[in-house]
């Protein structure tokens, strides 16, 4: 069904029929419920804090009470990427999205400053996130608000002597 056909169909419905369909969609499909829950009660700060906790647990998992050992860090970039995509889909403020994007890189750098990481993919993945956040802040016209954090990430990359540190520098030089 095309958008035009959908508009025509919806135009033919009474207000009560339209309300019934929306309620049915809300009850049947979790993404619709999530969307409307966010639209009517945004609580972006709460969403941001929950996302930061999830991301930080990827690198610094919490030992469960009574457990003898602490779980190993999973360092999955995909967890942050799903959260970022979800935030964008909901229409969360671009400042909040940029904050979570930068936090993802910052927590990964905190982890790498304390742990030796041998996987090349980790560094490439964080570089991809760096490039993504720069493109995002430029596209949303908020680069000046986040430039100091971006520069701090670059400096940390240099200080930790990442193998791809010059790739970070090249991307940063384009915005400087």
Kindly report the number of other CB atoms within 10 A of residue 101's CB atom. 24
**Using CA atoms, how far apart are residues 168 and 132, in angstroms rounded to an integer?**
12
Model confidence pLDDT, tens digit, residues 102-131: 999 999 999 999 999 999 999 999 999 999
> Residues 120, 162: contact at Cβ < 8 Å?
no
The mean per-residue pLDDT over the stretch 28-49 comes to 84
> Residues 78, 96: contact at Cβ < 8 Å?
no
**Using CA atoms, how far apart are residues 92 and 99, in angstroms rounded to an integer?**
11
The mean per-residue pLDDT over the stretch 170-176 comes to 87
- Per-residue pLDDT at 38: 78
- Per-residue pLDDT at 40: 80
The pLDDT of residue 86 is above 80: yes
The model's confidence at residue 69, banded by pLDDT at 50, 70 and 90, is: confident
156-52-148 Cα angle (round to 5)? 35
For residue 100, CA distances in Å to 8, 89, 105 come to 40, 14, 9
- Which residue do the tokens 């135009």 mark? 11
The mean per-residue pLDDT over the stretch 156-167 comes to 96
Q: Which two tokens stand for residue 21?
A: 């369909």
Q: Which two tokens stand for residue 110?
A: 């905190």
**Using CA atoms, how far apart are residues 94 and 100, in angstroms rounded to an integer?**
10
Q: Which two tokens stand for residue 101?
A: 């994007």
- Per-residue pLDDT at 87: 92
- Per-residue pLDDT at 158: 96
Return the domain boundaries, the chain. Answer: 1-41, 45-175
Judged by average pLDDT, the poorest of 39-43, 122-126, 137-141, 158-162 is 39-43
The pLDDT of residue 51 is above 90: yes
pTM of the model: 0.81
Cβ neighbours of residue 78 closer than 8 Å, sequence gap 6 or more: none
Average pLDDT over all residues of the chain: 91
The mean per-residue pLDDT over the stretch 76-94 comes to 92
């Amino acid at each position: 069904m095309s958008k035009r056909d959908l508009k025509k169909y919806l135009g033919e419905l009474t207000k009560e029929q339209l309300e019934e369909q929306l309620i049915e969609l809300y009850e049947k499909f979790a993404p619709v419920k999530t969307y409307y829950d966010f639209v009517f009660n945004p609580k972006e700060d709460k969403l941001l804090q929950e996302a930061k906790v999830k991301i930080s647990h990827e690198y610094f998992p919490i030992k469960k009470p009574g457990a003898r050992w602490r779980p190993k860090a999973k360092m999955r970039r995909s967890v942050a990427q799903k959260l970022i995509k979800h935030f964008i889909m909901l229409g969360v403020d671009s400042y909040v999205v940029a904050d979570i994007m930068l936090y993802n890189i910052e927590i990964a750098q905190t982890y790498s400053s304390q742990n030796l990481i041998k996987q090349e993919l980790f560094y490439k993945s964080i570089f991809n996130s760096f490039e993504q956040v720069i493109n995002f802040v430029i596209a949303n016209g908020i680069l000046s608000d986040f430039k100091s954090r971006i520069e701090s990430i670059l400096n940390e990359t240099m200080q930790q002597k990442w193998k791809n540190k010059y790739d970070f520098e090249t991307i940063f030089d384009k915005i400087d």
